[in-house]
Structure formats: structure tokens, C-alpha cells
A and B are shown apart, each in its own frame.
Chain A
């Protein structure tokens, strides 16, 4: 499948067909697997978006691992005004997981805007949430770790600006040991020194250009970058990036073809997943 990179100076496509490169890739994969024996046998959760799953180890998000979702700057380069899109993407990731309690820890900061369950209900039942407020970051990380160790917890989410590599490593280990995913939701990009398995940067993108008289906001668009992909497959681009569209009415997230992004008239080819 041809992939059109927005970056014309990207390195040559690694998945260019050819027996040599295919063999090399297989070899690299084996080396990587041997190198990361700890990953073996761990469960993965497919996102249901083939374009993204293709790059993830075993075609999905590693369950027992730490993942970070951060709100990226707006397309214009300005600091994101809010992390509503990142929260939406986090909720989408959680919706892919199995049943069980979701421990949601947050550290209130500035204007207090907690998640709003009527909107979250589009992804999962908010009755599953156990909401925890921690004033100090060490309390937040402690609560997350406790949650990871508890049976019956499907996932642990931490909403914080704090980036503590030691805490990140501890969370990562606890997640690995118990096979429960830990997610850090950051309202701003954090310094990239943490030990997370994947780091996603989400920015709101202008929604599809609809005819002027009836502007429609039903379909929110997110620019999603996979900035770190441990154990994953190498990608064509340095940081693989997709434009996703969330449809409020059909409750579906789909990858919008990059080539058609912004072209108003073209019929939209998209993949629908639930």
C-alpha cells in the first residue's frame, strides 16, 4: 500500500518491495524481539485503525505498559488552548480495553475543568470510573501505582503536568508486572525523557470543510502523532502522523486519508471502525 508522506525529504520508504529489504526487515524484527524479551507474550489491544495498528507491536497497544498522550501545539504553532482532543483520544484508547474499573487520577491545576461524563459516555460508561484527586504529584503517582496493583482495574489514567522519570519507570514496571495499561494524559508536551512505551501527541485540527451555509462540527478532527513507539515497527516517516476524524453521531473514529486533507470537493475515502 503506498504511503504518501507529507514530508518530501523523508528517508526512502523502508517497506519498498524487494526480497532483500523484506528479509532485512524480518531480521531486524527478530533482533528487536530478542532484544526486548520482556515484551514477549504480553497482550496487545488493537486500536481498530489498521493504519496505526500496522506500526504497533503485534498490531496493537501493549496492555501492560505505560503510554503517554499529550496535547500538542495547534497547527499554527500556538500552545494548545486546551487538551479536549487529547482527552478524547485517551477515552478512545480506554474504550478499546476490556471491562473493569477505570482509575482516573488527576491533579487540579489552574482553571479546574474535569472531564465531563455526558461526553465521555460516547466512548465508555462513566459508571466505570473511579475518580481520584491528588494535590501533590507524588500522591498522584502513588495512587496510580496502587491502582495498577489492584485486580479488577482495567486501566489507570493520570492527568498531570508532572514529568518524573523515576515515577514513570515505576509506573512502567508496575504496569508490566500486572498487565494493566497505565496512561498519562498531559495538557502540554512533556520533556521526552520518560520511559513510556508509546507517546502520542494529539492536536485539534480544523474539521472538514463543509459547505459554508451549514457549517458542521459533528466531525472533530485530530492530528495524531506517534512520537515514540517502543517495540513497534519502523515507519516511513520519522514521526508517523495521521489525521483522525471522530464522528459524534456514528461514534466512529476513522483515519482521513492524508492526501485528501483539506481538499474540499473530493469525496472522502475513509475507513470506519467502531
Chain B
């Protein structure tokens, strides 16, 4: 029906433009909100090949009728249930909690729980009674039998043919011979049916890769004070570090997520340069970041997860000799680097590595702290192979104007930053040829018949005693002079 027709029928019809992007964003927010129940949350695209796993997925459908979320809550029920009743009571409680919280945020939603994603999908959309939304373990065959075939997530032409043939309920398909069905309609109906009934697997692809290690702390009353959040973090860290010890791993990355009462989620992460499972040290790293988190109107749940872990390499204390040889290997330094990197950014906390190159600006590179340092004496060896070098090197050589007696001569005077420096002493030249074997920025290697550009470096001293490192670039008749460094 067109909008004009609808308005004719119902004059005070409220309309809103379709905004698929906003819908998508909302679903994303809801999905991250659902991370509180399980790390395995997937957004269910309508009609697309969706997921089935022979476990306990739960589908919260009903947003605008097409979008949905799939949650694999295997093993999560016990967090919600009370008493010793394994499984069902907890899962029922989880489902009730989910529905109740969402409706508190003014979402109209229908959530169903079943052994398979397909069954949960169908129940959430087509179950008639509230009581049917929870399908007990292995009960999907009976639960699905009474639902319309629309619940099988089939393509529209197949669905229409089914209806023409009088196959209205999913149960009608149970008794049909499989081979003719496949021959007439292709694989889809049987696959979907098998997925819904749990005969074949349907993996759920989570939105975010689920972390292997995760701890959660829920609060009866929302918390908001920074001290409380810090205390919660340190409790969770202690628990997580125990998990690490059992699995013999250490964290390379940790993420803390605050689930706020208004339904939004705030996250922050820290990284370490090597596997770490020392709770006080990790807490130290978090302290810098916790200030960035905004508890909003209150936090009802905190989840700490380790998206990236590495095999535990053992304590550095066990290898005192290695620590002595390797000046940066000491615990303190690496921990310091981690702490600094969290506030200043990973790129701003580095070590210097030598590179085998003739070009002065290529000799010195930076590397993250997790890289091994240069071997002892490597720099000294490298320096001994080169001529005199400045204590500071300009990242970008600066063009200077010079005066020389003859075009070929070293400069008598150079002008840098509008100051004229009269050159009193000169040392040089040291000729440094370009590395012809290295590809140009354009990606081409220089042709062999062209003489590679050379730079003639001079160390000069001006009349004030200031020492500079200059070079001449380009052919003799059109040479340009650059300032490249400052000497001691």
C-alpha cells in the first residue's frame, strides 16, 4: 500500500522516513548490549544463510519485524539461575531477564530459546503463546510442528509453492519423503529443516571474536564512583589471572567493558609488550585508562576479557643472565614502557634499532618495545664504519643558501633560518651514493646506465663555534645545499 492510500484511510497516521543505517546502528548497539549474556552474539540478517548450532542459541527477534540477534548462550544459564537446577531454570531466568531489561528500555521484543538457532528464530517470530517461547531441551520437533512454514527461513518462491501445495505447518514437512522434496525444491528446505531440528550444525559467527578468557561482575545496585570501578576491575583481574595460570598463558591485550544502566556500553583496552598475568601490574596499566571510562548514570555489570593471550614464556627472573645481556629485558623497563604506551600511544614509546644502510636518515629506525633490542655493541660497530656523524639529525634536510668561491668548493657561508653563518672550518667531503638497488618511491629500480645521485657531506664550523652537517645534492652545475644535522 502506498503512503497516500494509507493516509487516506487513516488521516492521523504517524510516518517516519526509513533510515536503514540508523537501524543498523541501533542493532549494533543492542548486540553489544547483549554481550552481557554471552560473547557469541551475531546479528541476524533476514533471509540470509543464518547460523545453526546444536546448542542453546536464543534469538531475540522482532525489531521492525526483520532484524534479529542470535545469541549462543551455551553454558551461560547458570549465571542467572538460582539453586542447583542445572540448565533449564537458569536459561529461563536468562530469557526473562533479557526480555524484561529490553522492555524496560522501551523495546518491543520477542525472545525465544531453543536448542538450535533455527528453532529459536522460528519461535521468536511465530510462536503464538508466551509459554511456547521457551523450548525445552530436545523439544524443538514438537514446538516447530505447529508453526507456519515461514519459520523455516525459506526463499519466497519456495514458500509460495509450499502454501499452494497446502504445506502450511512445519510439521507437514516431517512426513514427506526427503528425496522428492530435494528434487523439486533444491537443498534449501531440507537444510533449513535439519538445521532447525538440530540434525546438522549451524555455526553462529560472532560479531566480535569471542575472547577465550572472560570474567564478569554484576551489581545489584549500579555503581558509578571511580573507586568502585577500580575495585571491581582489580577483583576481576585477580580472577582472570587465576584463569591465565591454569591455562598457562599471559595476556597481551585486555578489555574492560562497562554495561551502563541506560543500555549503552563503554569499553577500553590495554596492551602489553609481552604475556603478562601479574594482577597488580595489570591493574597499574588499567589505572591510566579507567579515568577515560564514563560510568554514565551507573554501571550494573563489568566484564573483563582477554581478546589476545599468548603462551606464558616464564618469568624473566628465571633467566638473570639473559636479563643482564639484554639491557631492556628487565621487568621494570618493559612494564614502564607498557605504562607509558597506554597514555602516550604505542608509537611514542620505542627503542632505536640500527639498519644497514648508507643513507644517513635510513640508518636509525624505531621499533616497538616488544621487539628485541639491538645486540650490544651493534651501534658502536655501525658508527665505527661511518664517518663523523651529527648528534642530531634533521628528519627532513633543510634547504640552505650558500656562498662559495667556486661552484665545486665547500661553502664559505650558508644561510639557515635567515641567519647567515660564516664558515670558518670545513671537514669533508664524505661522498654518500644513493642505494641504486633500492626501489624508488615510484616502485621502479633505477636503470643501470644512470649514475645514482650522490651527496657530498661536509662538517663545517661557523665563526661562533657552532658545528653543522651540510650536504650538496644534485649535479655540479645545479647543486643544492641542505642542512642535515647538528654536531656536538
> A-side interface residues toward B, CB under 8 Å?
74-76, 78, 80-85, 87-88, 91, 99-101, 103, 111-122, 125-134, 139, 142-143, 146-147, 150-153, 203-207, 215-218, 220-223, 246, 248
Distance (Å) between the CB of A93 and the closest chain B CB?
A: 13
Distance between Cα atoms of A99 and B325 in the complex (Å): 11
CB neighbours of A83 from chain B (8 A): 392, 486
Q: What are 24 A-B pairs at a CB distance below 8 A?
A: A76-B464, A81-B419, A81-B486, A82-B486, A83-B392, A87-B391, A100-B327, A101-B328, A115-B392, A118-B354, A118-B364, A119-B388, A126-B352, A126-B374, A127-B373, A127-B374, A127-B375, A152-B330, A204-B466, A206-B461, A207-B425, A207-B461, A217-B460, A217-B467
Check if A116 sits within 8 Å of B392, measured CB to CB. Answer: yes
Say yes or no for B7: interface residue by CB 8 A criterion.
no
Checking B330, B366, B427 against A217 with a beta-carbon cut-off of 8 angstroms, the contacting residue is B427
Say yes or no for B332: interface residue by CB 8 A criterion.
yes
Distance (Å) between the CB of B11 and the closest chain A CB?
A: 60
Stretch at the interface among B34-42, B69-77, B217-225, B338-346: B338-346
Check if A112 sits within 8 Å of B394, measured CB to CB. Answer: yes
Closest to A120 in B: B391
Distance between Cα atoms of A127 and B206 in the complex (Å): 43
Given A153-B333, A207-B425, also A133-B344 (CB < 8 A): yes
Checking B336, B340, B382 against A121 with a beta-carbon cut-off of 8 angstroms, the contacting residue is B382
Most buried by B among A111, A112, A222: A111
Checking B366, B374, B395 against A131 with a beta-carbon cut-off of 8 angstroms, the contacting residue is B366
Check if A74 sits within 8 Å of B486, measured CB to CB. Answer: no
Distance between Cα atoms of A25 and B485 in the complex (Å): 47
Closest to A113 in B: B392
Most buried by A among B377, B393, B417: B393
Distance between Cα atoms of A217 and B469 in the complex (Å): 11
- Beyond A153-B332, A206-B464, list 6 extra A-B contacts (CB 8 Å): A74-B466, A81-B416, A112-B396, A118-B382, A118-B386, A131-B351
CB neighbours of A75 from chain B (8 A): 464-465
Given A217-B388, A220-B487, also A150-B383 (CB < 8 A): no
Say yes or no for B227: interface residue by CB 8 A criterion.
no
Check if A114 sits within 8 Å of B349, measured CB to CB. Answer: no
CB neighbours of B328 from chain A (8 A): 101, 127-128, 130
Distance between Cα atoms of A227 and B258 in the complex (Å): 54
Given A147-B336, A151-B332, also A125-B391 (CB < 8 A): no
Interface residues in B439-488 (C-beta closer than 8 Å to A): 459-468, 485-488
CB neighbours of B460 from chain A (8 A): 217
Check if B379 sits within 8 Å of A117, measured CB to CB. Answer: yes
CB neighbours of B488 from chain A (8 A): 84-85, 87-88, 119, 220, 222, 246
Check if B391 sits within 8 Å of A111, measured CB to CB. Answer: no
Closest to A105 in B: B340
Given A87-B488, A217-B388, also A131-B327 (CB < 8 A): no
CB neighbours of B378 from chain A (8 A): 127
Say yes or no for B66: interface residue by CB 8 A criterion.
no
Closest to A82 in B: B486
Checking B366, B376, B425, B485 against A116 with a beta-carbon cut-off of 8 angstroms, the contacting residue is B485
Checking A91, A142, A152, A205 against B391 with a beta-carbon cut-off of 8 angstroms, the contacting residue is A91
Provide the B368-405 mask, 1 if CB < 8 A to any CB of A, else 0: 01000111111110110010111111111010000000
Closest to A128 in B: B327
Distance (Å) between the CB of A223 and the closest chain B CB?
A: 8
Check if A117 sits within 8 Å of B352, measured CB to CB. Answer: yes
Distance between Cα atoms of A172 and B82 in the complex (Å): 57
Say yes or no for B168: interface residue by CB 8 A criterion.
no
Distance between Cα atoms of A111 and B392 in the complex (Å): 11
Say yes or no for B29: interface residue by CB 8 A criterion.
no
CB neighbours of B462 from chain A (8 A): 81
Say yes or no for B348: interface residue by CB 8 A criterion.
yes
CB neighbours of B383 from chain A (8 A): 117-119, 121-122
Distance (Å) between the CB of B388 and the closest chain A CB?
A: 6
Number of interface residues of B (CB under 8 A): 68
Distance between Cα atoms of A65 and B227 in the complex (Å): 34
Given A81-B416, A100-B327, A117-B364, also A127-B376 (CB < 8 A): yes
Say yes or no for B252: interface residue by CB 8 A criterion.
no
Closest to A74 in B: B464
CB neighbours of B393 from chain A (8 A): 113-114, 116
CB neighbours of A207 from chain B (8 A): 425, 461, 465, 467
Distance between Cα atoms of A185 and B343 in the complex (Å): 23
Interface residues in B305-344 (C-beta closer than 8 Å to A): 327-328, 330-333, 335-337, 339-340, 343-344
CB neighbours of A81 from chain B (8 A): 416-417, 419, 421, 462, 464, 466, 468, 486
Say yes or no for B146: interface residue by CB 8 A criterion.
no
Distance (Å) between the CB of B112 and the closest chain A CB?
A: 52
Check if B391 sits within 8 Å of A88, measured CB to CB. Answer: yes
Check if A142 sits within 8 Å of B332, measured CB to CB. Answer: no
CB neighbours of A153 from chain B (8 A): 332-333, 336
Say yes or no for B167: interface residue by CB 8 A criterion.
no
Distance (Å) between the CB of B423 and the closest chain A CB?
A: 10
Say yes or no for B249: interface residue by CB 8 A criterion.
no
Say yes or no for B93: interface residue by CB 8 A criterion.
no
Given A121-B382, A139-B344, A143-B344, also A116-B336 (CB < 8 A): no
Distance between Cα atoms of A150 and B331 in the complex (Å): 10
Distance (Å) between the CB of A80 and the closest chain B CB?
A: 7
Distance between Cα atoms of A7 and B468 in the complex (Å): 31
Say yes or no for B424: interface residue by CB 8 A criterion.
yes
CB neighbours of B348 from chain A (8 A): 132-134
Distance (Å) between the CB of A213 and the closest chain B CB?
A: 12
Distance (Å) between the CB of B283 and the closest chain A CB?
A: 15
Distance (Å) between the CB of A188 and the closest chain B CB?
A: 14
Given A101-B327, A113-B392, A150-B332, also A206-B366 (CB < 8 A): no
Closest to A223 in B: B465
Check if A131 sits within 8 Å of B332, measured CB to CB. Answer: no
Most buried by B among A80, A99, A113, A127: A127
CB neighbours of A118 from chain B (8 A): 354, 363-364, 379, 382-383, 386, 389
Say yes or no for B269: interface residue by CB 8 A criterion.
no
Distance between Cα atoms of A267 and B343 in the complex (Å): 55
Check if B466 sits within 8 Å of A125, measured CB to CB. Answer: no
Check if A125 sits within 8 Å of B427, measured CB to CB. Answer: no
Distance between Cα atoms of A241 and B189 in the complex (Å): 94
Check if A217 sits within 8 Å of B461, measured CB to CB. Answer: yes
Distance between Cα atoms of A221 and B487 in the complex (Å): 11
Distance (Å) between the CB of A22 and the closest chain B CB?
A: 39
Closest to B487 in A: A84
CB neighbours of A215 from chain B (8 A): 424-427
Checking B351, B376, B386 against A129 with a beta-carbon cut-off of 8 angstroms, the contacting residue is B351
